[in-house]
A and B are shown apart, each in its own frame.
Chain A
Amino acid sequence: MTSIRSTRGTRWLAAVLLVTLALLSPGASWLGARRAESQPKEFKVGVALSLSGIFSRDANLFKEVYDLWAETVNKAGGIKVKGTGYPVRITYYDDESSPQKSAQLVERLATADNVDLMLAGFGSSIAFAASAVAEKYKYPYISGAASANPLFEKGYKYFFATLNKTFEEVEGAARVFTLAQPRPTRAAVIGSDHLFGKLAAEGFKKFMEEMKIEVVHYEIFPLALTDYNSLLLKVKRANPDLLLVGGLFSHALRVMKATKEVDFSPKGVAFSYGPTVPEFLKEFGKDADGVIAASEWLPTFPFKDPIFGSASQFDQAIQKKYGHPADYVQAAAAGGLVAQQTAIEQLGLQPPLDEKAREALMEQLHKQDVMTVYGRVKFGPDGAIVQKPPIAVQIQQGKFVLVYPRDVSGAQAGKLIYPLAPWRSR
């Protein structure tokens, strides 16, 4: 016991370690999360969200919608139950993009914070872990960005998702190439190595095969890949007409950059997710023209609800508050929020919500069929949304244009740009 003695230096080190420990504590956002446990008559809402780590850019889109929802609802006097308005208050914890941590934090929200409602984290990997805990404590968990098919095969009653299942989600971005002239015959499919990325890649592959387009290269790459150029060069050598990528925003960013660096100009490029994140356009400017993304919503769609107003009003509200257009996962999250709030109002549930109340809420969510800013929200028995038409959008002169299918609830598709100009002439 001689190496660490109670000297001044050791105390110094102890202080440093203490600060470290504090910052390490689950959800370092404790700094900002002020509690007012004793305040009665409000809905305590909890969410474990990836505020840092690999999904943080994507998850921040959720935080924007959750904050907008709380602000809108509270401004209107709160959630109206039997004539009384109950404001909502959201507690955020940072799961650091770790599914295990997300599960721990959901448990903490359920058992220590005793929240009334749980909002969902971003992404299938997170939802996979967190939804199991939400199920255990009987909290409806409605995600606007969890679509991996296996999520719906677990027999959960409390898990809901407003996006189409992953396979269907990329269908539009694959089928859009049936409109391409000259007809593409060869495709390369790559996907990042996590639940959504892999499933999206599998979905792309499946639809290409159905469309009789040969998949000349198929590969899943690791999240920690540092050199995308070697991967994209290999894809280039396979000489595909199309490049289809399963993954999230950061992967879309790296793949786009690498295609330019290795001078690989496929005639068509589609991503399962990424280009609709506002930063994508900011990063690539006119280089992004012609890129196709899977989507499920556009602000031009003729949907509305009593909370957020019309789709275009929702888009404007996001634009005004955060300075960028609304992404489709934001609309999907909003759809889930509206569905949950409608169910609470219909059932007349007053806070605090006990287990029985939450069970009733779950049953109502399974039963009801509501129109929201995101479109119709009706859940099937497995918690998946009754399928929406999968759509594809293309970036054309810095704007997202619907290119597939030809008509979505009255919104008409624009003309597909194909083939794309080679990098050297852009």
Chain B
Amino acid sequence: MAVPVELVQTLINGILQGGVYAAAAVGLSLIFGVSGILNAAHGELVMLGAFATYWLVTLYHVDALLTLPLSFALLFAFGWALQYFLLNRTLGRPLLLSLLVTFGVSLILVNVALRLWSGDHRMTRIPYFERSLILGDFIVPLSRVAACVVAVAMVAGLSWLLASTRLGRMIRATAQDGEMARMLGVNPKTIYAITFGLGAGVSGVAGSLVAFYAPVEPNMGLTYTLFAFAVVVLGGLGYTAGVIWGGLTLGVAQALTETYLEAGLSLFVAFVLLYVILTSMPAGIMGRGRLE
């Protein structure tokens, strides 16, 4: 019975990793879905969240789980300001401009982080997360479970906020037709800033979750930008809840590759998958993405 054990364990690993991918991508999906901005600095928001948790735990001995709301608040404020003072100026301009500006922002963030914190790889020490649950033949690392559970809860919460609250209705209305929303008394610039704040906040939390189990360093963002783009495309552009499916697909595909083929092919598989989905199902796995 060795094969099913290995298969199930691989699926567990993939699902746990997929949850974190989903968390890291949901902010990107939300921001693109509402304001049409392709945020190239997305991974750097994840990096800032990871550093927030690292420093709060290391310097102030804040409990790792308690850093999550703090990380959200810090990144929300940062994201709000970024949109309000900078990115709102790119609205209505070609997509390329927002891509360029956010790329610039990403370079500034990486270099400032390097100046402040150097390129060291830092590990957050969270003693109660260092062990794993051993369930018979299966091993489930606690830090990953926590990351995955929080990630899924966060995506669910965000979807609920968009679907069932007044703010969510205002965000959706602005996404559908900014002019019409303005006529009904919604200020699109404020909504865009709140949306970017929310997107940045959840990306910060994703970074904090990454800091539970992986080293933190200023250059870590690029990987998450790439994976987040892949996850958003797999799940369907502009369909926020799709990131769960996109994340799980990517996580499981990579885990299967690592276990049954070789680790060296995991990136290759991720991008082959992306290519296949883009060409055969451009609206994402669930077919609910936006096609333009």
Contacts and interface: CB of A to CB of B under 8 A. Distances in A.
Interface stretch (A157-165, A166-174, A223-231, A390-398): A223-231
Contacts of B136: none
Interface in B1-35: 2, 6, 9-10, 13-14, 17
B264 interface: yes
B157 interface: no
Contacts of A182: none
A193 B264 CA distance: 8
Chain B interface helix/strand/loop/mixed: helix
Chain A interface helix/strand/loop/mixed: helix
Nearest to B103: A20
Interface stretch (B64-72, B86-94, B160-168): B86-94
B124 to A, nearest CB: 10
Interface in B131-188: 131-132, 134, 139, 141, 143-144
A318 B93 CA distance: 54
Contacts of A52: 110-111, 114, 119, 218-219
Contact of B266 (A20, A225, A229, A253): A225
A231 B258 contact: yes
Interface residues of A, number: 46
Interface in B92-107: 93-94, 97, 100-101, 103-105, 107
A54 B141 contact: no
B90 A225 contact: no
Interface string A84-105: 0000000000000000000000
A250 B108 CA distance: 24
A227 B210 CA distance: 11
Contacts of B258: 225, 227, 230-231, 234
A112 interface: no
B184 to A, nearest CB: 26
A23 interface: yes
Contacts of A23: 107-108, 111
A353 interface: no
B57 to A, nearest CB: 13
B267 A12 contact: no
A155 to B, nearest CB: 31
B111 A28 contact: yes
Contact of A231 (B89, B119, B123, B263): B263
A262 B139 contact: yes
B264 A257 contact: no
B141 A13 contact: no
A253 B114 contact: no
B267 A224 contact: yes
B120 A279 contact: yes
A234 B9 CA distance: 10
Contact of A227 (B13, B108, B123, B264): B13
Interface string B116-130: 001111010100001
A388 interface: no
A261 interface: yes
A13 B89 contact: yes
Contact of B263 (A219, A253, A262): A219
B119 A219 contact: no
A238 to B, nearest CB: 11
B119 A53 contact: yes
A253 B124 CA distance: 12
Contact of B215 (A24, A28, A233, A250): A250
B280 interface: no
B151 to A, nearest CB: 14
Interface string A272-294: 00000001000100000000000
B255 A13 contact: no
Q: In this complex, which of A60, A219, A229 has the most chain B Cβ atoms within 10 angstroms of its Cβ?
A: A229
Contacts of B192: none
B262 interface: yes
A13 to B, nearest CB: 6
Nearest to B129: A261
Interface string A253-277: 1100100111100000000000000
Given A250-B215, A261-B141, A3 B132 contact: no
A370 interface: no
A250 B263 CA distance: 17
Contacts of B214: 226, 254, 257
B213 A261 contact: yes
Given A60-B118, A263-B134, A17 B100 contact: yes
